[in-house]
Structure formats: structure tokens, C-alpha cells
Amino acid sequence: MKHLTTLALAAAGAAFAVIGAVAEDFPSKTIEVVTHAGAGGGTDVNSRMMMLRGRRTIGDMVVVNKRGGPSGALAMQYFKTRPADGHTIMTFTNGHALTIALGKSDLKIEDMRPLARGTNDPQLLMVSCKASPYKNSDEFLAGARKTKLKYGTTNIGGLDHITAYIFAKRAGAPDPVIVPFKGGGELATQLVAGSIDVGVLNLSEASAQIEAGDICPMLVLDEGRMAPIPDVKTAKELGVNVVFATVRGFVTHAGVPDDRAKKMEDGMLKSMSHSVYQAYLVSSGLDNTSVLGADAWGKQMKQLLADLIPAAKEMGLVK
């Protein structure tokens, strides 16, 4: 009997060892990284830059481009149909958050598990250095509270539009007059020309005009100031709680086991701390503060939705 018991325990131990080995054998196939951008688009490039080293730290990965629908709706739908086994990652952006806020996708934030953030490009409020009467952050905020200003954005109903609306509301300023443009380049050009009072832009979109002294950033809509423009205050410093940035980060399904999610998070953070990815950030006008782990990235995702959903309703953007 003692002999049989010993054999049974040995067999059980072997079985547990096999189960443990299987559990650790992840990924067992190629991981799909789903993006809503076409090849060469910003989100596509960001995904591929993460994957350069991520293939070594996590496992084999391939980009799956799913273009179509409003702001990534098709990519979100495809992601939702995939099994929650950790072999599918989606690059999540402001566009996805806005699609959720506008009720154009049945994918919810609760369906996703944050892994890591890859880029954080704060939005800034900028003016024409020559045409604007405002010369610093304090002057701009004081003026914005008294004057109905024309804000240039890249489209109607997009993140820039909502940013201008929320800033004006929280700053106690008159409702903004929105002037939409096709892209950041055109917006910056028209800001220099004096066609608008304020431009809602990222630093990279107006870097040439800033260096030339044609465009002057007035407020950074982020938690802290930006190294390239250290004298420009944040809205939060002046008592206006507005934080908006163009973000790209990675998520998987909410039901993915903890050990698999942890392996992906650790692998991504290691990949994006590598000099190759860091050089990519610098070339985009960003720095190492762009990279965040799952907890902080998840909080930012939730806050983004908490800001967008009520604003979209108040603005009449939700049908």
C-alpha cells in the first residue's frame, strides 16, 4: 500500500509539473497586434516600434491592420471576436475612446485589460507669436476667460473639438468658436496667418513654427510641463483641471490570465525602454515619460472616458 501511495504521489507530481510547463508555455502561437491604421500610419508605426524588441521579450508578433468604421470601430469589433487567451493585443488610442464615448462600438472599457502605454503626446493651446496679444500662460488664461476666441481644431466632433470645449467650460471662459481644418499642418499655417486665435495642437505638429518664433505655446494640457518648452505652464498649475494627450497604448482582453498579462506587460516595458524605441520617441518630440505600466495606463484610459462621455452628450455629439 505504501508503495502504491508513493507511486500515486509521484504521478501527481509529474502531472502538476506538466500542467505548470503548459501554463508557462505562452505564447504558444503568433500574437496578433490589431491596429485601426493602415501600414505607415502613426498607430501602425508605434505598434511596429514596440514589436522590434517585443518579439524578443514576449514572442512572435504580427500587425493586423483593420481599417474601417468611425475611429477604429472595425478594429475594435475584430478584437472583440478574438479569444481571451492573450494572443491578441490591440493598440488603443484616443480615437477608440471617442468611438466608445459616442456609442459607435459595443466594446466597453471593461472588456479590455491595459498592458502598457507607448506614447503620450500632450495637447497644447498655442497662439500666433506676432498676432496674439498674449505673451505667456497667465495672460492667455486671463484673456481666454474674457474673450470669445476662435479655436482651430482638426475636425468637428473630434478630440481637439472636445478639448477646446472642456477647457473653456472648466476655465470659466465663453464657449469657443470652432474652426475646423483638415490636419495639423494646415491648422498651424492658419494660426500663423492670424485666421484663428488659438490652435489645439501637439508639439510635433508645430515644432518648425515654434522654433522659427511664429507660434507660441500658451498652455500644456498635461500633468506636468514639457522639457522642450519648460517655461510654458500647465492648465492644472493655473487651476484648470484639463489633461488631454494623443495617446497610444496596448490592451488585451479582460479575461486574459494574470500570468500571461504580466508577461506581456513586462515584455513591453522592457522593449520600450530599449534605446531603439527611446530614439523613436525623441524623434517624435517625446521622451521616456511616454512609457507607462498597466496600472497607470489603465487609470488614464478610465479618466479619458470619464471626460469624453459627458462632454460628448453635452455637445450633442451622441445621437
CA distance 142 to 171: 9
Task: Give the CA radius of gyration of the chain.
Answer: 23
In contact, 297 and 117? CB cutoff 8 Å:
yes
The CATH number for 17-120+246-314, chosen from 3.40.920.10, 3.40.190.150, 3.40.50.300, 1.10.760.10, is 3.40.190.150
State the pTM of this model: 0.85
CA distance 92 to 109: 11
**Domain with residues 121-238, CATH architecture:** 3-Layer(aba) Sandwich (3.40)
Within the chain, which residue ranges are assigned CATH 3.40.190.10? 121-238
What is the per-residue pLDDT for 283?
87
Residues in the chain predicted with pLDDT less than 70, given as ranges, are: 1-24, 70
Within the chain, which residue ranges are assigned CATH 3.40.190.150? 17-120+246-314
- Give, in degrees to the nearest 5, the angle at Cα 72 between 35 and 122: 80
Q: 128-151 pLDDT, tens per residue?
A: 999 999 999 999 999 999 999 999
Using alpha carbons, select from 116, 97, 106, 89 the residue that is nearest to residue 34: 89
What is the per-residue pLDDT for 38?
85
CB atoms near residue 49 (< 10 Å): 21
